[in-house]
Chains A and B, each alone.
Chain A
């Protein structure tokens, strides 16, 4: 069993959805980001989504855009992201790590070189926003061959006819984007999200995690009634941004993230009550 499978199985056994937390790698600087990463599992995060900074994040709202500017300014590079995963793995063998970002930095790194380095570092999966199934030859198929999960986004515009195409090479889990929109926007109807999750589940045995727009313990509890996982991101990256003093990490930066994670972590625990 892969780390991702194991984690979802554990959460299922505990009758709760898994909590997936997104933070930007290297935000706001290397040392602080490392401390945040290590604090996440203790704070209740089951799976870490690690954002790879990109200059033109077309699916992200302002909070993650800003995180994506702070990280490279603090010295983060694609190689640096992998280095952080490698360091984390020395201390934590079980928490799955999924890299999330855009294709160009990987393409420029070199796909095969990147996948080999990511596998070595202990990366479990990839979520690449701008690679739909139509571009599977680029990275998805090489990733699967390299033993790395390729986690696909499905959206409200992915209808029943298209869903099998999207699910075809998906592995690890399915990421359902809760709305037509960018990260950080508001979910219009939690009920509709639940229906969509059930619809996807009728097409696949993979766990279905829901992300985009999940902010509070209530969101987590309510959406977690149907979903196998819930993803929080914007609120965490925003907490990093708000904790800064003169643009630099403060003694509150790590604890700010930890505090925010606590609330969806409580939410997932009571989701099935």
Chain B
């Protein structure tokens, strides 16, 4: 079953098919089960710390001189990003399915940390696949995962980034399909993952809508999120898709610039539809259908694909996807840190860079809300290196 039309699908090996069909059934049942929903809600409130605040960024607003700038503060969630929203939902599903082992892929390590966290809480062994390059550039998160009891397996294949970690996780899953639940970290992969992850992340947009109404008595004129695989973005966007008066922007990783060959990871701006990791979606690929390695200053958004629902929203033009370069993200990172006292994740800084361009073009009575998907503690070392502070 496709997400819509061309995109989505279940392009997986037969070994995994029975499990994926079972997962879909179990998810449908869980969705309708009040006990499951109650447990999820309780965990959101008391463990994650939801709802996350909607914050008016006063100095940034004055500095940019246009629309009011707001942050939906997912970085204040337990573990420091939106990733926990998805993990909390999927871990309960894994328990329901009787699985005894969890695997996950991670890029920046935020999903790995969130997975290791829920595995500690539910006493399940977990193995996290992480590209060897990413293990190097996201050391603090590697340590966190290990302390939480996870096994971190560095993947040296390819460029040693998120795509390779996902390949290796799929290989492990095929091998241990009887016992193992694959906790995918973004709104991609075979159906029903993209839909499931979107559902779990949709709490971001649902809360945002209510909080903004309470604050301003209307809907925001624009919302913005960064797009790696697309989970925080689809979670932010979903509640607004049927409100055409709200402009929606996704910030892709533009790396060194979309004109630089192999120098970016903007799958929608610079890619074309293809089939990878269980779904059809926009991908970075060559003319022979070989997948290219993306580049980004931030691990995670360098993934060469994107969740299938974003491909659909790109084609229908409901969402405008724009590339943000490494340098723009770095500048946004610093501005946010100095003006608001919030150190954002480099991923989220891509979204902020879009806001920095957008706000001045809007009027002062208008508003733009950014999903601040994560905090930047994990990035201080690599940013310090870039800026020559170390």
Q: B280 to chain A: which residues have CB within 8 Å?
A: 107
B11 x A72 contact (CB < 8 A) = no
Nearest-neighbor residue (CB-CB) of A134 within chain B: B10
Contact (Cβ within 8 A) A182 B11: no
A180 lies within 8 A of B176 (CB): yes
Contact B177 A130 (CB under 8 A): no
Cβ-defined contact, A180 with B175, below 8 A: yes
Q: How far is the CB of A120 from chain B (nearest CB, A)?
A: 19
Which residues 132-191 of A sit at the B interface, judged by CB distance below 8 A?
132, 134-135, 152-159, 162, 166, 177, 180-182, 185
> Which residues of chain B are near A104, meaning CB under 8 Å?
274-276, 283, 285, 289, 291
Asked if A159 contacts B18 (CB within 8 A), the reply is yes
Tell me the chain B residues, 165-180 only, with Cβ under 8 Å from chain A. 167, 170-171, 174-178
Q: How far is the CA of A157 from the CA of B158 in the complex (A)?
A: 29
Tell me the B136-160 residues at the A interface (CB within 8 Å).
Answer: 157-158
| Residues A129 and B13 in contact, CB atoms below 8 Å apart | yes
* A-B CB contacts (within 8 Å), total count: 111
Cross-chain contact of B288 among A108, A134, A153 (Cβ < 8 A): A108
The proximity string for B residues 288-300 relative to A, scoring 1 for CB distances below 8 Å and 0 otherwise, is: 1111100000000
| Least Cβ–Cβ distance between B356 and chain A, in angstroms | 35
A194 contacts the other chain (CB 8 A): no
CB pair A59 B171 closer than 8 Å: yes
B15 contacts A180, C-beta separation under 8 Å: yes
- Write out the residue numbers on chain A whose beta carbons fall within 8 Å of the beta carbon of B16: 157
Contacts of B11 in A (CB 8 A): 103, 130-132, 135
Cα(A77)–Cα(B277), bound, Å: 21
Q: Is A54 an interface residue (CB 8 A)?
A: yes
Q: Are B171 and A177 in contact (CB under 8 A)?
A: no
Interface string of B8-31 (1 = CB under 8 A from A): 011111111111000000000000
The answer to whether B289 and A108 touch across the interface, beta carbons within 8 angstroms, is: yes
A159–B283 CA distance with the chains assembled, in angstroms: 34
Contact residues, A59-115 vs B (CB, 8 A): 59-61, 65, 72, 77-78, 102-109
| Chain B residue with the shortest CB-CB distance to A130 | B11
Q: Per a CB cutoff under 8 Å, which of B170, B174, B277 touches A180?
A: B174
Is B46 located at the chain interface by the 8 A CB criterion? no
Tell me, rounded to whole Å, the shortest Cβ–Cβ distance linking B6 to chain A.
11
The residues of B that contact A108 with a CB separation of less than 8 Å are 274, 285, 287-289
**For the complex, is A192 an interface residue (Cβ under 8 Å from B)?**
no
Bound-state Cα–Cα, A250 to B226, Å: 50
A126 smallest CB distance to B (angstroms): 15
CA distance A106 to B275 in the complex (A): 10
Which residues 273-328 of B have a CB within 8 angstroms of A? 274-278, 280, 283, 285, 287-292
Does A157 lie within 8 Å of B288, measured CB to CB? no
Give bound CA distance, A130 to B285, whole Å: 18
Given contacts A103-B275, A109-B289, A132-B12, contact A58 B167 (CB under 8 A): yes
- Point out the residues of chain A lying under 8 angstroms from B277, CB to CB: 56, 58
Distance of A130 Cα from B17 Cα, bound (Å) = 10
Instruction: Return 16 A-B CB contacts under 8 Å, by A number.
Output: A102-B275, A104-B276, A104-B283, A106-B289, A109-B288, A134-B10, A135-B11, A155-B15, A157-B15, A157-B16, A157-B18, A157-B19, A157-B177, A157-B178, A158-B17, A180-B178
The 9 closest A-B CB pairs, nearest first, are A108-B289, A105-B289, A155-B15, A55-B290, A58-B170, A104-B289, A130-B11, A181-B175, A55-B291
Q: A61-B171, A180-B177 are in contact. List 5 more A-B contacts (CB 8 A).
A: A53-B290, A104-B289, A155-B15, A157-B177, A158-B17
